[in-house]
């Protein structure tokens, strides 16, 4: 016996106290407990996302149902609808004068304000996504999971399937998991997919038909109970996508190397590589400290397009009297630009309007592929309504600060080429048993 007898006695006294702690509640449970139908846990939430400056607004309601039966088989269903409106940058660079663009359908034109980054207002889309999954025990220590997901919007459909295996070791202190997800996407851009790195409008432009893209992802996970207060998770994600990656609605401006004004072919459709391989390493911790819980995570990301990113996410969940909680959160994300990211094409260097050709293999002015740092600051408040019913309210502010683009020629040097992206997000949630 490792323990001294007196320590042993104290431990036994503690174990006895735990056994005898509930007295009256047990008699109520005893009759026919542990059997009977298990209820569905329903989680519902609505996200209202709004970018400043007349940009994107989205409302996204989501509902998830989950149920675990007596044999440990858990089934989940999720439905998400998202409606998007508002304006989004199309990749063109700001100019001192008004710029006119044609909408993707080709039926209308829109104007970008002078001195401002052009924002295409023609995006209105509704997307519906459905996911179903099940996880079941397979032997004493292993769990098998499988699921499918489907997503549909006017110009894009995605169908995916996933399978996972998780195994517990050492009294479930260690869990190792392997998961594989496959996805097949169909792209049906409005007006067709523009020929990559060819003029976007007018002579020399062209469209091809629908495109496809296939993605495969592998996730290796290690979850470890460090001690009574600390849970740790390390995930390695490897992914590869092949097929159409180019955004059909985005372009680059062709500017004069001296004046910085659009010239020649003016606007050229972007072109991205046919494949993308990604690696991510996620290291997350949940630590129970005093009354609250700290959630701290770091994710490293790198891909074959040259993007490198670091994301730190910190949350502190503090209980409130009455069963609720308040959770402030700070997320910081910094990424480096993709290799082929550029703010514009320079006539005679990156683009030759006479031959409508470029020495570049790929190019994109999509700021999502650019270098930037972003901060999310917010707070979530939850409070219980009744037994196993909770309402949550989350308010967050997201701000993306783009890296300044070097070598801006001519007038571009004095224009706001990379304004910050500012967004507010409000999420209202309601969870209950059914």
Partner 1 sequence: MKNLLLNLRRTGAPLLLGAVALLGGCAQMGVQPWERDLLAQPAMAPEGVPLHGDLDDHVYFSKEAATGGRSFGGGGCGCN
Partner 2 sequence: MNPEPWLQRTTTGWRGGFDAMASPCELLLEGVDEATARALLQRAQAEALRIEQRFSRYRDDSVVARLHAGRNTWQLVDEETALLLDFAAQCHALSGGLFDITSGVLRQAWRFDGGTQVPTAAAVAALRPRVGWHLLRWQRPRLWLPEGMELDFGGIGKEYAVDRTLALLQAEAPVPMLVNFGGDLACSGPRRDGSAWQVGIEQPTGTAGEPVAAAVLHLRHGALATSGDARRFVWHEGRRLGHVLDPRTGWPVEGAPRSVTVAAPRCVEAGMLSTMALLRGPGAADWLREAAVPHALIGADGTLHNHFETHPHPT
**Which residue's structure tokens are 């109520």?**
28
Q: Are 127 and 61 in contact (CB under 8 A)?
A: no
Tally Cβ neighbours within 10 Å of residue 91: 27
State yes or no: residue 37 binds partner 2 (CB under 8 A). Answer: no
- Out of partner 1, partner 2, none, what residue 300 binds, judged by CB under 5 to 8 A for its kind, is partner 1
The least distance separating partner 1 from the CB of residue 215, rounded to whole angstroms, comes to 7
Cβ proximity to partner 2, 34 vs 359, nearer residue: 34
Nearer to partner 1, 101 or 325 (CB): 325
Q: Quick check: 34 binds partner 2 (CB under 8 A)?
A: yes
- Tokens standing for 204? 């020399």
CA–chain centroid gap for 235, Å, is: 16
Q: Which residue lies nearer to partner 1 by CB, 261 or 314?
A: 314
Which is nearer to partner 2, 11 or 393 (by Cβ)?
A: 11
Measured from the CB atom, is 191 or 302 closer to partner 1?
Answer: 302
Least separation in angstroms between residue 4's CB and partner 1 is 18
* Cβ nearer to partner 2, comparing 141 with 420: 141
List the interface residues with partner 2, window 321-350 (CB under 8 A): none
The 3-state secondary structure of 332-380, one letter per residue: EEEECCCCCECCCEEECCCEECCCCECCCCCEECCHHHCCEEEEEEEEE
DSSP codes joined into one string, 101-146: EE-TTSS-EEEEPTTS--EE----EEEEEEEEEEEEE-SSSEEEEE
The window from 23-31, 57-65, 145-153, 336-344 that contacts partner 2 (CB under 8 A) reads 23-31
Task: Give every CB contact of residue 66 below 8 A, 6+ residues apart in sequence.
Answer: 40, 41, 43, 74, 75, 76, 77
Is residue 23 involved in binding partner 2 (CB under 8 A)? yes
Residues in region 258-277 near partner 2 by CB under 8 A: none
Residue 9 binds: one of partner 2, partner 1, none (C-beta under 5 to 8 A by kind) = partner 2
Nearest to 191 by CA among 91, 86, 84, 107: 107
Interaction between residue 39 and partner 2 (CB under 8 A): no
Return the number of the residue (26 or 182) whose C-beta is nearest partner 1: 182
Q: How far is the CB of 71 from partner 1 (least distance, A)?
A: 20
| Min separation Cβ 387 and partner 2, Å | 15
Q: Which two tokens stand for residue 21?
A: 């702690």
Q: Which is nearer to partner 2, 10 or 180 (CB)?
A: 10
Among 109, 140, 322, 406, binds partner 2 (CB under 8 A): 140
Q: Which does 52 bind (CB under 5 to 8 A by kind): partner 1, partner 2, none?
A: none
Taking CB under 8 A as the rule, does residue 70 contact partner 2?
Answer: yes
Following DSSP, what letter does each residue of 53-89 receive, concatenated?
SSB-EEEEEEEEEEEE-TTS-EEEEEEEEEEEESBEE
Work out which of 137, 258, 291, 416 binds partner 2, going by CB under 8 A: 137
Q: What is the rounded radius of gyration, in angstroms, for the C-alpha atoms of the chain?
A: 27
Task: Tell me if 290 sits within 8 A of 380, measured CB to CB.
Answer: no
- Residue with smaller CB distance to partner 2, 164 or 402: 164
| Residues 281, 290: Cα–Cα separation, whole Å | 29
Closest contact distance (angstroms) between CB of 188 and partner 1 is 9
Among 107, 124, 172, 433, binds partner 2 (CB under 8 A): 172
Residue given tokens 């019913």 in the structure block: 389
Q: Provide, rounded to whole angstroms, the least separation between the CB of residue 356 and partner 1.
A: 28
What number of CA atoms fall less than 13 Å from residue 358's CA on the CB side?
24
Q: Considering only residues 39, 54, 72, 407, which one is a binding residue for partner 2 as defined by CB under 8 A?
A: 72
In angstroms, the CA 273 to CA 244 distance is 8
CA 139/CA 151 separation, integer angstroms: 33
Interface with partner 2 includes 124 (CB under 8 A)? no
Residue 381 touches which of partner 1, partner 2, none (Cβ within 5-8 Å per kind) = none
131 contact, one of partner 1, partner 2, none, CB 5-8 Å limit per kind: partner 1
Both tokens assigned to 110: 């829109």
Say how far apart CA 161 and CA 122 lie, in whole Å: 32
Q: Are 110 and 122 in contact (CB under 8 A)?
A: yes
CA 73 – CA 258 distance, rounded (Å): 67
Least separation in angstroms between residue 389's CB and partner 1 is 13
Site residues, partner 2 (CB under 8 A): 1-3, 5-6, 8-9, 11-13, 15-16, 18-20, 22-27, 29-30, 33-34, 70-72, 137, 140-141, 172
């Amino acid at each position: 016996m490792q323990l001294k007898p007196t320590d042993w006695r104290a431990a036994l006294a503690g174990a006895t106290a735990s056994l005898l702690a509930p007295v009256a509640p047990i008699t109520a449970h005893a009759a026919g407990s542990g059997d009977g139908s298990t209820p569905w846990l329903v989680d519902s939430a609505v996200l209202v996302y709004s970018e400043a400056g007349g940009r994107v607004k989205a409302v996204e309601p989501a509902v998830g149902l989950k149920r675990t039966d007596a044999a440990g088989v858990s089934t989940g269903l999720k439905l998400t609808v998202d409606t998007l409106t508002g304006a989004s940058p199309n990749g063109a660079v700001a100019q001192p004068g008004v710029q006119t663009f044609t909408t993707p359908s080709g039926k209308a034109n829109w104007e970008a304000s002078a001195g401002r980054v052009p924002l295409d207002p023609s995006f209105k889309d509704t997307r519906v996504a459905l996911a179903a999954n099940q996880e079941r025990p397979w032997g004493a220590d292993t769990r098998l999971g499988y699921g499918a997901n489907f997503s549909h919007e006017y110009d894009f459909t995605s169908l995916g399937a996933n399978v996972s295996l998780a195994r517990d070791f050492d009294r479930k202190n260690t869990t190792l998991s392997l998961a594989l997800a496959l996805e097949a996407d169909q792209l049906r851009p409005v007006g067709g997919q523009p020929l990559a790195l060819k003029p976007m409008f007018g002579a020399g432009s062209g469209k091809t038909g629908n495109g496809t893209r296939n993605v495969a992802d592998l996730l290796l996970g290690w979850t470890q109970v460090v001690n009574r207060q600390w849970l740790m998770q390390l995930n390695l994600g490897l992914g590869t996508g092949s097929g159409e990656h180019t955004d059909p609605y985005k372009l680059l401006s062709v500017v004069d190397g001296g004046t910085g004004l659009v010239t020649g072919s003016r606007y050229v459709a972007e072109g991205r590589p046919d494949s993308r391989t990604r690696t991510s390493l996620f290291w997350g911790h949940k630590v129970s400290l005093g009354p609250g819980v700290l959630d701290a995570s770091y994710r490293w990301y790198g891909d074959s397009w040259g993007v490198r990113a670091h994301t730190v996410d910190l949350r502190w969940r503090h209980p409130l009297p009455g069963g609720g909680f308040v959770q402030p959160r700070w997320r910081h994300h910094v990424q480096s630009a993709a290799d082929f990211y550029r703010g514009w094409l320079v006539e005679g260097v990156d683009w030759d309007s006479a031959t409508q050709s470029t020495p570049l293999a790929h190019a994109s002015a999509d700021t999502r592929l650019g270098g930037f740092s972003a901060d999310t600051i917010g707070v979530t408040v939850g409070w219980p309504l009744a037994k196993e019913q909770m309402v949550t309210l989350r308010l967050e502010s997201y701000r993306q600060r783009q890296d300044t683009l070097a070598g801006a020629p001519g007038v571009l040097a004095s224009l706001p080429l990379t304004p910050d992206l500012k967004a507010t997000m409000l999420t209202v949630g309601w969870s209950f048993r059914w």
